[in-house]
Amino acid sequence: MRLPTSYASYEELATTIGHELFHNFQHSRLTVAEMAGNRRWLMEATAEYAAYYVATDYGMSRLHRGARPYYHLEYFSNREAGHEYAMAAFIHFLVQEGADFADMWRAIVDNRPMLQKAFQDYVLATVGSTTTSIYREFWHHVLTNSNLPGADNLRDIGARMILFHTEDLGPTVTAPMSIRRDWSMDIIWFRPRDYDAEGKALITVEPETDIPEGVRVDVFKPGGFAFYMDEDGNRFTTYDKTPGGIEPHGSLFDEEVRLTGTPQYLEFEMEEANEEILIITAYGTQGGASFDIKISQMSLELDPPELHEVDPEEEYEFTATIHNVPRAISEITFRWKLENGETIVEQDYVNDDDQISDELEFSFEYTMGRTEIQNLDIEVVNTKTGEIIKSGTIVIEEDPEVIILGERHHLIPLRIDESEEDEEFEYEHTFEAVVKPEDERTYLFEWDFDDGNAYSETGETSTNTHTYSDITEEDVFNPKVSITPVIDGEIEGTAVSEDSIRLEFTTEPEGIEGSYTGYLVIEEADKFREFVIDLFTPFGVMTARIFGSDASREEVREIIADSIEETGINQPIGLSMNIQLRQDGDYLIQGYVQGDEGWVEYSSIGIYQDEVLYFDLVGEDGSAFKMDGILIDDDRIEGVFSADAWGFIKDAISGSWAVERDE
C-alpha cells in the first residue's frame, strides 16, 4: 500500500489510509481483472465509503467536485474527475434507505465474477428499487436532503444556471436539456429576475419540444438561496435543504403527453422574500435524448394600471394583455368585473381558431356612470378547468385632496386704541383639515402657520389650535397644510396634496356694532308650498287649494288675488338685529324676523371682509338666511339675502334687506 507523504490534515490522512486499506481488503477476495472495467466505480465508491465507515467523515462531508449527475454508475474512465469516488455518497444513501454495508459487500464478492449484477440484486432485495431507479432518487436527495453530502456549488456538479435575457414584459428563455448516457440526469437551475409589487413572480415551466420517450422532468422549489465567496475567493451557492429530502414540487412525463395528446406545463408562484429558486432535473433511460425546456414569467399588463379623477360620463378604454400563455392552455376567458363582483364583459379565445399565442390582449370601453366609483378586476381563466391563471385590478379612485375647513379668506378686525402706540395683539385660530374623498387611510398632516411655527400629526383628519402673537395692523398670514400617505407606520414618498387659507388683520370698521331695526323683502321665489285658502264669493265661502310648484309669481297672485297679500312677495317683513364684535374678530349677530305667529329669533357669527358683512341667520324654526350687507353710512346697513326655504315658500328665495341704527 503506497501513501503520499504530506497531508493537509489528520482527517485527510486517516481517510486515505482507510480507503487504501479497503482496496487491499477487496484484492484479498477479487482479482485485479475483476476490480477493473465497468466495476471500477464500485471498487472506488465502496473503498471511499469504507474510509468513512472505519475512519472519519472527512471524505463524506461533501461530494467530490468530480461528481456529475450526467455520469451513470458504469462511468469510470475519467479518473481525474473523481466521479467514481463521489459515488461513496450513493453507497451512503443506500445504507440510509435500509442497506447494510457489510452485507452488501459480502453479497458482491460471494457472487464473483458477476459483481455488478450481484450489487443490483442486493439493492433490489433490500431497498426495493432498481439501481437505475434509485439513482434518480439519490441525486434528488443530493439536491434537497440535508442529511446527505451535498455540493459546495450547484455549478460543481454540472448544474447550469438559466437567466432571462430580455428586459421586456413577460420574459422567457429556452434551455436545452440532454441525457448524455443511459440512466443519467441533466440539471439546470433558475432564479426570477423581476417580481411584482407584492414580491411574487409567476413562473411557468413547459416543454418547448416534445419530451423524449423514457424521460421524466422534476422541478424543486427550495428557498433560502444565497450566493457568496469565501476568504479564498471560492464561490458558493446555498439554499435550504430538509432532513430526509423533499418530493418534487411538480413533474412532467413523456407518457402522459403521448397518452392524452395534451401538452403539459407547471406553474410556480415564487416569493422574493423567501429567496426561492427552481431546480429542474431531467432523468432518462436512453443516452443521446435531448429536448428544450421553456421557462417563462407569465405576467398580466393592465392599461391603464390605475385611473384617477374619473369623469362618470366619459367613456374609458381598458386593456388587459397576458404574456407567455402556456401552450397547454387551449381555451381562455377574459372576465372583467366590478369590485362588487358584478361581471361587466367576458371574451373567449380558443386555439382551434389560432386565437391564443404567447401574448393575448383584450380591450373594452366602459362608462362609469353616476354610481359609486369601484375598482375594475380582471380574471384570466383557463376555460376548460375553470382555474384563474392570472388576475389583476385597475385601481379607480379620486386622488386624495386635503381641505382646510371653513372660510378661505378671514378678514379679522382689530380694536385699535388710538391712545396706544404700536399696539400688538394675539389671535387664536382653530384649524381643521380633512381628506377628500374619505378613504380611512392614514396621512401625515404637516402644518405651516406662516409665522415661523409648524405642527405635524398623523391620522385620518387633523385639528389643532394655534395662537398668532404680536399681531399688528395689516398683518397677513397664509397658513397651509400638506398630506403624505402613511402605510404600515412608514411615510410613503412625498406630499400628495396641499391647501392654504388667508388670515388678514385690519382695523375695526367704525360704527358697525349696535342695535338695528328694519325690514327684508322677498323679491324672487322659485316655488311655493301647497296651501289652502278660503275665498268669499256671492255663492258662499269657497275653499281653494293652491299649488305654486310651476307657477310664476304673477300667476300665483292672479289666483289668490287680494285675499292672501300676506304671502310676503314684495311686502316688507319686519327685521331687527344686534351686532357685537367678539374677541376673535368675528361678529355675533342676533336677529329677529317677523313671522305669521310672531317674531322668530335667529343667531349667527359674521365676518367683515372687503367692507362687506357676511353672516348666516339660522332660525329656531330651522330656516336659514344667507346675508351680506354694506355699511352705507354710520347708521344704515343695506344688503341682499337668499334662503333655501322659509315659511310657505319652498326651495330658493332671494331678496333685499335694510336696517337703521336704533336711537
> What confidence category does residue 169 fall into, taking pLDDT thresholds of 50, 70 and 90?
low
> What confidence category does residue 532 fall into, taking pLDDT thresholds of 50, 70 and 90?
very low
pLDDT computed for residue 86 by the predictor: 86
Q: 548-568, pLDDT tens digit by residue? A: 444 444 444 454 444 334 444
Residues near 472 by beta carbon (within 8 Å), at least 6 away in sequence: 422, 423, 424, 425, 505
CA dist 397 and 129 (Å) reads 62
Q: How far does Cα 514 stand from its chain's mean position?
A: 62
Least confident span in 69-78, 231-240, 361-370, 637-646: 69-78
Average pLDDT over every residue of 320-334: 87
CA dist 109 and 297 (Å) reads 53
CB 127 within 8 A of CB 133: no
- Going by C-alpha positions, the residue among 440, 431, 433, 374 that lies closest to residue 401 is 433
Residues near 44 by beta carbon (within 8 Å), at least 6 away in sequence: 76, 84, 85, 87, 88
pLDDT computed for residue 221 by the predictor: 95
Q: 569-608, pLDDT tens digit by residue? A: 567 888 898 988 776 667 888 888 887 667 888 888 887 7
Judging by DSSP bridges, how do beta strands 266-271 and 289-297 pair with one another? unpaired
Phi, psi values for residue 580, rounded to 5°: -130, 135
pLDDT computed for residue 422 by the predictor: 55
pLDDT computed for residue 482 by the predictor: 96
pLDDT computed for residue 565 by the predictor: 43
- Angle (deg, nearest 10), helices 101-109 and 115-126: 140
CB 471 within 8 A of CB 425: yes
Q: Annotate 632-644 with b (16+ C-beta within 10 A) or e (fewer).
A: eeeebbebebebe
Rg (CA), the chain: 45
CB 643 within 8 A of CB 626: yes
Average pLDDT over every residue of 630-646: 81
Residues near 22 by beta carbon (within 8 Å), at least 6 away in sequence: 46, 47, 50, 51, 54
First-residue to last-residue Cα distance in the chain: 135
Judging by DSSP bridges, how do beta strands 359-367 and 401-404 pair with one another? unpaired
| 490: number of Cβ within 10 Å | 7
Question: 3-state SS string over 404-436?
Answer: ECCCCEEEEEECCCCCCCCCCEEEEEEEEEEEE
pLDDT computed for residue 548 by the predictor: 44
CA dist 39 and 567 (Å) reads 120
DSSP code for 464:
E
CB 495 within 8 A of CB 453: no
Q: 127-137, pLDDT tens digit by residue? A: 999 998 899 99
CA dist 431 and 466 (Å) reads 8
Task: Answer with the residue of higher pLDDT: 150 or 533.
Answer: 150
Q: At residue 229, does pLDDT exceed 60? A: yes
Q: At residue 453, does pLDDT exceed 60? A: yes
| 14: number of Cβ within 10 Å | 17
